[in-house]
Amino acid sequence: MRRFGQIIKLKPEYEEKYRKLHKNPWPEVNAVIKACNISNYSIYLKDGYLFAYFEYAGECFEADMKKMAESEVTRRWWAETDPCQEKVPSALPEEWWSDMEAVYHLD
């Protein structure tokens, strides 16, 4: 199992919409996330930044992320959520959510 922490900025004018979407996420979106071997997924908000944590237990992360990106429901969900977000300044060109470095973990 691999743990991931990611960060992205939330545009302030979209905070209400973003909260509303995530208060009642589409069941089909949750099903795709689970089908792509992701569990224990949480998103937190602080000072205009979104922090995501999830655990991945699949065999090939890149293949599962490709599967997720090719999902019709995921693309429709991202059409709703992506305009609410903007990359952090240090994001790599290919990143939307930026991976964070784990510096501590206690089981």
75 found inside a domain: yes
Looking at the domain assignment, is residue 106 inside a domain?
no
Q: Structural domain of residue 89, as residue ranges? A: 2-99
pLDDT value of residue 7: 98
Assess if residue 95 is contained within a domain.
yes
- CATH number of the domain bearing residue 19: 3.30.70.100
Residues belonging to the chain = 107
Q: Is the Cα torsion angle 9, 96, 75, 33 positive or negative in sign?
A: negative
The answer to whether position 50 is within a domain reads yes
Q: Is residue 26 part of a domain?
A: yes
CA atoms lying within 13 Å on the CB side of residue 2: 12
In a domain, 107, yes or no: no
pTM of structure: 0.91
- At a CB cut-off of 8 Å and minimum separation 6, what does 10 contact? 18, 45, 48, 49, 50, 84, 85
Task: Report if residue 105 sits inside a domain.
Answer: no
How many independent structural domains does the chain possess?
A: 1
What confidence score (pLDDT) does residue 42 get?
A: 98
Please give the average pLDDT of every successive group of 10 residues along the chain, which has 107 residues: 97 98 96 98 98 98 97 98 96 94 93
The whole-number pLDDT of residue 50 equals: 98
